[in-house]
Structure 1
Amino acid sequence: MATISTQLRNFKEPTREQLNLLFFSLPLDAESHGGDKSITGELEKMEISAVLSLAQQGVEEAYPGKLHLIPPYLAFASLDRKSVRFTMPLCTVRRVERLNARAGIYALSLTLHTGMKIVVQLTSLRPSADLFCSLLREALKAELQRGQMKVVKGFVKACFSEELVASASDDEKDAAKAESPSDSPSDPLCHGGLGMKFKFPGDPRKLREASKTKLWTAYLKTHGRNLTLLRYPQCTRLVQVGLPNRLRGEMWETLSGSLYLRFVSPGVYEQILAENKGRTSTSTEEIEKDLHRSLPEYSAYQSEEGIGALRRVLQAYSFKNPETGYCQAMNILAAAILIYMSEEQAFWLLEVICDRLLPGYYSPSMHGTLLDQRVFESLVHRCLPIIYDHFTAVDVQLSVASLPWFLSLFINSMPMVFAFRIIDCFFCMGPKVLFQAGRVVLLLNYVLTLTWQLLAILKINGEKLLQIQDDGGFIHLMRDYFASLGDSAHPNSSDPRSRAITRFQELLLVSFREFAIITDETIQSERKKFRSEVIHSIESFSKRSAIRNLKTLERFSKEQAGLIYDALFKAICIEPPPASSLPPPSLLTTKDQHEERPETRIGLKTFRFFLSEIATWARTEKIVSNGFQQRIEREIAEHEFIDRLFYFWDTGFRGSLSFQDLVSGLDGVMFNDLMENIEWFFNLHDKNKDGFLTKDEVLTLSESLLFIFRFEIGDAYLGAVSRFMSNAFEYGDALLPRAEGADDDSPTQIESNQPYINLATFRMVVLADEILESFFESDFTSTFRLEPVPDLEVPNSNVY
């Protein structure tokens, strides 16, 4: 959790280029785009004002907006960023022609691999239009050079939308036959996932699958599909009506952008599984525990075929993203999407959901979910104050029920046929990019859709909620409501049309009509308001857990251990350890329920920062003035003594230190008396632990004393170290065995790395000097100070 908090505290606002990439459902890095850095990495990006025209069946639609060249993609968004947009790989463009138009009009006709033509009128000045066309030409040549244009045909052949459009010329009977599971194509899992064999949830007749299929077929034939889908207002309306089961998986990955990842990464999923075959980890162990808890009511997950598919998808994700690994509720999400898509499709969609659409939801700290929970409570307070006040009065926690809704996207809360309708809207309603934490970005409209649904649920059940007196009653009421979503919302109405309206339809109607006033900016503002509070809450929980899970507090109190934790946390924020030493979750050390848990371990560089917080000699402070004001600047000291201390405390010889190591190490020095401190200092410099210091080690020990005394005023301490060295060598030489027949005054020859003085001699030398005796008795221990660490400043920003 420390690493998560560090990311949240140290995030940077997304650049305009990143916002565009995320708006168009594209990854942030060129490699994920499929762009070869040697080719596309050097191509210039550009946007230009344009008017998009699509003439089909005698109807012409024209939308002014911005045309974006983002090699290897071409994208367009209308001026309102809502009416129409598209993202398509350049390799799907087969022909570009300049149309003969009247003077002053610069229009391009793009012919796609499907044969569909779109006309883009460039409305910028002529030089800008010429430059755009020149860049587009170079980008298309690069795609031809990469050979991606040859890949398109094979890729789209496996898309069900192609089969659907191909069957559009047949009669309705043939179209219905193409929809039947019994007449599936040769590779059914590419067209429908586990649902093709184990049936899709719900009754096809009640779900009006044939009607939905017909509507979508007409739209896809007119407005493109899969890699070249044009998202017009009608697309959003059709999504709200519902997606056909056979098309749902493909539309999910098209709307989310995971389709582009799958297109540019052929064979990656299988490669990950092959390279990690037989490998086990904490994540794979957790996955095995949850496999049979994943939608057990669905027949596929009562068979080895379904369990095996789920296992492979979750393991592949954990291997590809080891810092996230596997987290709570991820199994529910993966199990749901596998019903409608193949393993490879599910893998890439899970990647996009966890890393881009809902970052922080599926992580050890669940920081994204916790933040949205806080935002949701605030919106309930604003929009439904009576319900909020009642819940506050009877101490009912909204998060008791709403947290599982957020985590599972309603999949575990309501019948699957309705949950999947909400997920349809989840992928369609957006995206508008507003949040980023490090490199993970939250697309707000995805969460905005959930927020509308949640508020609508509370509003519809308002009267019953006001009768609730405890958390149990709240959960029971919500469970009953979700179970009745298929019932009539107005069973006693005399109007047949009103009686036909289901409670689920009422839910959608209320959410999109009454709560559409909650905009992107609303949630943006709320998240900004509560971000610091959530981070502080996560850090406090992490601190309590870390202290509670220590094997031993040694001689420290819990409060003192908390101060050590604070210093460690600050050091990690300032100097994060390398990624290789940061397995999740974080500072939880020791064993939990007889299971070893991963822990955050710090390296030498971070240790120096940590030590500078608690030891006066481990830092250098100087006053810096700019002529107007003065400030104290702290520099971290680097010395062999600090390095020696790091490895002395690393009793497990792992090259890194845990929170427990630091607590135990500090205990060994902060509670000592005179004799214990002398012995500790001796053992610290006895490198091979043979009970003797060599001459070299005596010199090193003297250098350590000089390092600690370097800020002391006067020559007293320097003289003490000088006398120590003189006495140590005198006593050491006197104790050395003489060679037989040698003169008593003749020096004894000894190698610098041979045993020289033992602990008793070292103790005698120290006690012979008053200054050193005082240092080891109390002064050295007092240089370690456990003090509250000031809160780190949390940057103000509109993103997280």
Structure 2
Amino acid sequence: MALTTQIAERFRLQHRKWSPTSRAFTFKMEDLYNFKVAVTLEEAKALREVKENVKKQNKVWWLWEANRGPEWYAAPGMSCFSEISLVNLSECIELKKLVRKGVPVELRPKVWIAVSGAAKKSSTVPESYYADLCSAIEGRDTPATLQIDQDLARTFPSHPWLDTPAGHAALRRVLVAYSFRDSQVGYCQGMNYVAALLLLVMKNEEAAFWMLAVLLENILVKDCYSDDLTGCHVEQRVFKDLLEKHCPRLAMHLDDIGFDVSLVMTEWFLCLFSKSLPTETVMRVWDILFNEGTRILFRIALAIFKIQEDSLLSNITVGEVLKSCQETARTMYDPDKLLKVAFDGFDVMTTHSLTNQRLKHQEDVMEELENRIQKLNALRSPKELVPRQD
């Protein structure tokens, strides 16, 4: 009783009727990135434990900093994206373990920009590249900039910094700059949430821009954010194969009731779970994403389904499954629980095997999209189809 009362008081309860024994009671608290979240007392306890675990893990990182020197993780060959030599093999393995257990909030900007390859990418252009790009595009309007302007206010509304004129301006500059850097991609909804979290973590516009660039150009599958979302469609088919392999009963059940995984996978993969999972859980996933690549996205998606497999098997409608998936993801406040299932619950998943699966589905996706275009063209207004009569 005393513990729950202390927790309630600590997080400034905002409710007139409260009972320490009430499971349905919720109150608001701030997470590590200043997002306000409504949690139950049980969820508050979980968050408190997570914060304590973060503190313990921070000590491990700072010990490595003291022993190996500042930014030891930025040495050549440390990232999983680079060629590993025998000289630094042991440190590379240790870095991988450390990253999987979580990067300290204070070190995330430096660790991410180093291991992802963003620092290397930015070093290939003049230092003034981003500033020059922002100056060159100022005042220019394109379909991409118009869509970006519409999405700014929708991106994490009510966040104390993102939902301010300064936050909107910074997010706009990053997104517009990238839309001009890669006009083929331009802008796609979903990128706004990713860029917004990058800004919160990196605390620097230019660094957030380069993180977005390395993510879209080197880490994620090609055409993930293209106009027709080809890459996203391919990833969804690959995931469906993985679900059938690792959770065959569940995959069959979902198929029987007509649940298409794209109902959740589109948002999960385009927003990289930023709209679905609690912020610190997203950060833990991104820690691994920037060091190891996209395999973690499939593992996390599989883990979310695996954790709720028994309850999903009892759901008999598409709506029930969708609600269950969304609620399970939203309340996944313990990243260690999720990551344990993600890494221990499934077989080895190599980059090579994922590449082969993508190639297998790519042709089918392209053919399906082409058929859709043909059907849309066939549905043009009769006026367009009737020959002119002079």
Same fold (TM over 0.5): yes
The 3 A distance-change label for structure 1 pair 365 and 340 is same
Q: How much has 1:344 moved relative to structure 2?
A: 0.3
> Please, which of 211, 214, 220 is the counterpart of residue 59 of structure 2?
214
What is the rounded CA distance, in whole Å, between the counterparts of 2:96 and 2:374 in structure 1? 45
Paired residue secondary structure (1:243): coil
Counterparts of residues 509-588 of structure 1 (less than 5 Å): 509-548=340-379, 552-555=383-386
Counterparts of residues 732-751 of structure 1 (less than 5 Å): none
Paired residue secondary structure (2:161): helix
Is 1:466 equivalent to 2:308 in the alignment?
no
Counterparts of residues 164-203 of structure 1 (less than 5 Å): 200-201=33-34
Q: How much has 1:205 moved relative to structure 2?
A: 8.2
Identity %: 27
Which residue identity does 1:340 align to in structure 2?
A: V
Cα deviation, 1:292-343, whole Å, max 9, x if unaligned, reads: 1112242212211111100110111112222221112110110010001111
**Contact 2:34–2:160 at 8 Å: present in 1 too?**
no
Q: How much has 1:550 moved relative to structure 2?
A: 6.5
Identify, as 1 or 2, the structure richer in helix: 2
Paired residue secondary structure (2:201): coil
**Contact 2:304–2:329 at 8 Å: present in 1 too?**
no
> Please, which of 97, 107, 123 is the counterpart of residue 263 of structure 1?
123
Match for residue 249 of structure 2? Answer: 386
Cα deviation, 1:213-238, whole Å, max 9, x if unaligned, reads: 33223334517536426521111111
> Please, which of 269, 274, 299 is the counterpart of residue 452 of structure 1?
299
Measured on the aligned residues, the alpha-carbon RMSD in Å equals 2.4
What is the rounded CA distance, in whole Å, between the counterparts of 2:131 and 2:368 in structure 1? 40
Counterparts of residues 316-395 of structure 1 (less than 5 Å): 316-341=177-202, 342-358=204-220, 359-395=222-258
Which residue identity does 2:348 align to in structure 1?
A: I
Matched residue count: 330
Counterparts of residues 702-717 of structure 1 (less than 5 Å): none
Deviates further, 523-532 or 268-277: 523-532
**Contact 1:243–1:424 at 8 Å: present in 2 too?**
yes
Cα deviation, 1:667-692, whole Å, max 9, x if unaligned, reads: 56xxx8xxx8xxxxxxxxxxxxxxxx
| Runs of at least 5 residues in structure 1 that lack an aligned partner in the other structure | 1-197, 430-445, 487-501, 556-666, 677-800
**Contact 1:375–1:523 at 8 Å: present in 2 too?**
yes
Match for residue 266 of structure 2? Answer: 403
Match for residue 228 of structure 1? Answer: 75
What is the rounded CA distance, in whole Å, between the counterparts of 1:543 and 1:378 in structure 2? 28
**Contact 1:396–1:471 at 8 Å: present in 2 too?**
yes
Is 1:416 equivalent to 2:279 in the alignment?
yes
Which residue identity does 2:58 align to in structure 1?
A: T
What is the rounded CA distance, in whole Å, between the counterparts of 1:459 and 1:308 in structure 2? 40
What is the rounded CA distance, in whole Å, between the counterparts of 1:263 and 1:481 in structure 2? 41
What is the rounded CA distance, in whole Å, between the counterparts of 1:551 and 1:298 in structure 2? 48
Q: How much has 1:553 moved relative to structure 2?
A: 2.4
Is 1:250 equivalent to 2:110 in the alignment?
yes
TM-score, normalised relative to structure 2? 0.78
Which residue identity does 1:241 align to in structure 2?
A: K
The 3 A distance-change label for structure 1 pair 366 and 252 is same
Counterparts of residues 576-615 of structure 1 (less than 5 Å): none
Paired residue secondary structure (1:376): helix
The 3 A distance-change label for structure 1 pair 215 and 247 is same
What is the rounded CA distance, in whole Å, between the counterparts of 1:312 and 1:226 in structure 2? 30
Q: How much has 1:206 moved relative to structure 2?
A: 4.3
Match for residue 288 of structure 1? Answer: 149
**Contact 2:193–2:274 at 8 Å: present in 1 too?**
yes
Match for residue 32 of structure 1? Answer: none
Paired residue secondary structure (2:123): helix
Q: How much has 1:201 moved relative to structure 2?
A: 4.4
Cα deviation, 1:621-669, whole Å, max 9, x if unaligned, reads: xxxxxxxxxxxxxxxxxxxxxxxxxxxxxxxxxxxxxxxxxxxxxx56x
| Runs of at least 5 residues in structure 2 that lack an aligned partner in the other structure | 1-30, 36-46, 79-91
What is the rounded CA distance, in whole Å, between the counterparts of 2:106 and 2:379 in structure 1? 50
User: Relative contact order (alpha carbons < 8 A, sep ≥ 6): 1 or 2 greater?
Assistant: 2
Which residue identity does 1:326 align to in structure 2?
A: Y
Which residue identity does 2:142 align to in structure 1?
A: S
> Please, which of 114, 129, 133 is the counterpart of residue 272 of structure 1?
133
Q: How much has 1:268 moved relative to structure 2?
A: 0.6
**Contact 2:96–2:291 at 8 Å: present in 1 too?**
yes
